[in-house]
Amino acid sequence: MKTRILGKNGLETSEIGFGSMGLNYHRGPAKDRNEMISVVHSAIDSGITMYDTAEVYGPYTNEELVGDALFGRRDKVQIATKGGFKIDGLTNIPDSRPETLRHSLEGSLKRLKTDYIDLYYIHRIDQNVPIEEVAQTIQRFKKEGKIKHWGLSEAGAETIRRAHSVEPLAAVESEYSMWWRESELKIFQVLDELEIGLVAYSPLGRGFLTGKLDKNMSFSENDNRAGLPRFTKEAMEANQIVLDFIGQIAKEKNATPAQIALAWLLGQRPWIVPIPGTTKIERIKENNISAEIEFSEDEMQEINEVLENIKIVGDRYPESEKNKTGK
């Protein structure tokens, strides 16, 4: 697999990463642990090097699973994880105080069975702690050798600038896909200017853009899509127009809708790395093939123009969850 560079300091990773959250969190009943470890091993064998997790997924259990899956293969991968929440089992509140970040990082290192994190994100911005102070905390972690690079998740342009001025960011992690393009308007300019990468989570629209979710389906326990506005029956029915459009392109390119969604994303900027997740080995190969699909400038312009004129129904998160969600 080809590689891409995130940030000025040269974090080189596979051009498609692996979003680990759904292995046992927020995507239905957890599947067999050994089976999920085998999925991760297959991803490694396919050339995927970036594995994304977070302490809040579970909480903690996703990092534990990823740690077990990557054990013995640490030299072949980069681990990205996220901290900075006050986790009490009920609500997750952003907390970027030095002592909280220290506790988060030390816990992640233990669960992930490693002595360093390749890319450590602040999961959500804590409005009570200046981002410059957060960057100084990160500097201490880097001097200790416990993290190599850092990033912010779901941060605005001004916050990115302020953080980067103290300690250069390798990447910003934000939701980005054919049906959620706010990043283009809000942060692309600053990422271009400061040479910061974008790690795109939910690049397949939490499964919607694969075309495999039926508007009449019901989401099971431990599947957070049941509470997301875009996954009501009415919203899914209204947003079928997006799937129909992607399906047309897929036929022209002899590809699947998922491959088109990922190929489109890869074509937007050379510093974007999507992190689709899956619990199925066969999906890994399908996703990886998307990197081989190319669009001409004219094709990309035409696709983007159509997307800009499609009104997506439903927000991505309920209003009450927008700043404290763990995706």
Active site residues: 57
E runs forming strands in 33-103? 50-52, 78-83, 85-87, 92-94
How far apart CA 287 and CA 296 sit, in angstroms, is: 20
Nearest Cα residue to 201 out of 2, 16, 12:
16
Residue 101, Cβ neighbours under 10 Å: how many? 22
For the chain, percent helix, then strand, then coil, each to nearest 5?
45, 15, 40
User: In this structure, which amino acid lies at residue 49?
Assistant: T
What Å distances lie between residue 326 and 78, 91, 138, 146, 217, CA to CA?
21, 10, 21, 23, 23
Give residues with Cβ within 8 angstroms of 101, minimum separation 6.
83, 84, 122, 134, 137, 138, 141
Residue 272, Cβ neighbours under 10 Å: how many? 22
* 96: Cα separation from own chain's centroid: 20
What is the dihedral sign for C-alpha 99, 163, 179, 212? negative
Pairing of strands 11-14, 85-87: unpaired
Nearest Cα residue to 300 out of 253, 232, 238, 236:
253
